[in-house]
Amino acid sequence: MVRLIHEFKLTYPGGGIEQHVIWSVPRSARQPDGIRYRLVYILREDETPAVLYDNHHPKGHHKHLGPVQLPYDFVNVEKLIEDFQKDV
């Protein structure tokens, strides 16, 4: 059963947007941690995210910092949000 466990959206005074969406999903080969997420920060003048954390299949846990994509070591939801906030 898919269940929304965290949702957040903030528009900054300068026009940037931060949005988090995190779901609890059944554990599977595609989602072995039972978590599906997308956390994004987009600057007003950009079309592509300045910071993006997601774990879509087949890439698994990873983050984008501007044009650079890096692996991400997922621990838990609280640490995910904390790490994302540090990168924003």
Say what the pLDDT of residue 56 is: 92
21-36 pLDDT tens trace:
999 999 999 999 999 9
Give the model's pLDDT for residue 47: 78
* pLDDT tens readout for residues 53-86: 999 989 999 999 999 999 999 999 999 999 999 9
Identify which has the larger pLDDT, 11 or 47. Answer: 11
DSSP designation for 82: H
